[in-house]
Amino acid sequence: MQDTTRSRTALVTGASKGIGAATCLRLANKGYEVYGLSRSKPGEEFRGTWIRCDLSNRDQLASELEALLAKTPIDCLVNNAAWPFADNLDDLELDKLNASLDFHVRSTLQTMQAVIPGMKERRHGRVVNLLTTLLKGSTGRSAYRAAKAGVMSLTVSAALEYAEFGITVNGVAPGPTATDAFYDQNPPGSEGEAYFISQIPMSRMGRPDEVAAAIEFFLGEDASFITGQLIYADGGMSSGRRLG
């Protein structure tokens, strides 16, 4: 059973910026003990324990997870780290496809395999995997979509396999969100930004804290009977285009 005498612990990957940073701050403000994994150092607003780790390095990730779990149990896991580079099928290199699959699918599986055994022992746990609205269809992100489809498959499989242990596994799929990663490719006021906003029925970019709110919902006890599900936090983009 869950130990109610201590704060709930949460591990968030890709914790230094954007949605990951917003999630860490939101959870810390709600009383979670937060551990953040990322290559770059978080900003001053980060509240928790930061662990420098490159998720593309499986040995380094294994070592950091082992060291963390030797010190504390993890109640909640948020697989947020992402690498959404642009591509098209004609020019997509196999090595880059393999790198995307490894970064997203392998690292998600690796973190779940490390953290879930403890959750099974305690018969309680929460896992949220970040996906993407691009699962609904898009051009120019073939490798990223393929990798996130693999993460979605892992999410559903894990939800079914671990349900009997009181562990829920769900996904959150953000739409275009106002992060540094987005604006690095689509500067404010650019045609790229305008195009994405035109695809969103709410006619604006999402905020990282809005996506973090959906993540927090799945981690909370109010969602204890929800597993294997996906929330699109995308301003209606996944539902279709608005006419007129």
Query: In terms of C-beta distances under 8 Å and separation of at least 24 residues, what long-range contacts does 41-47 make, across chains too?
Result: 41/16, 42/15, 42/16, 42/17, 43/16, 45/21, 46/15, 46/16, 46/21
Instruction: Give the amino acid at 154.
Output: L
Q: By C-alpha distance, which of 46, 108, 36 is closest to 79?
A: 108
Rounded to the nearest angstrom, the gap between the alpha carbon of residue 172 and the centroid of all alpha carbons in its chain is 7
Q: Is 99 exposed, middle or buried (0-12, 13-18, 19+ CB in 10 A)?
A: middle
CB distance 46 to 53 below 8 Å: no
E strand or H helix that includes residue 231: strand 230-233
CB distance 38 to 200 below 8 Å: no
Q: By C-alpha distance, which of 97, 114, 87 is closest to 13?
A: 114
Q: Longest Cα pair distance anywhere in the chain, in angstroms?
A: 57
Q: By C-alpha distance, which of 7, 1, 25, 4 is closest to 212?
A: 25
Residues involved in catalysis: 144
Is residue 2 helix, strand or coil?
Answer: coil
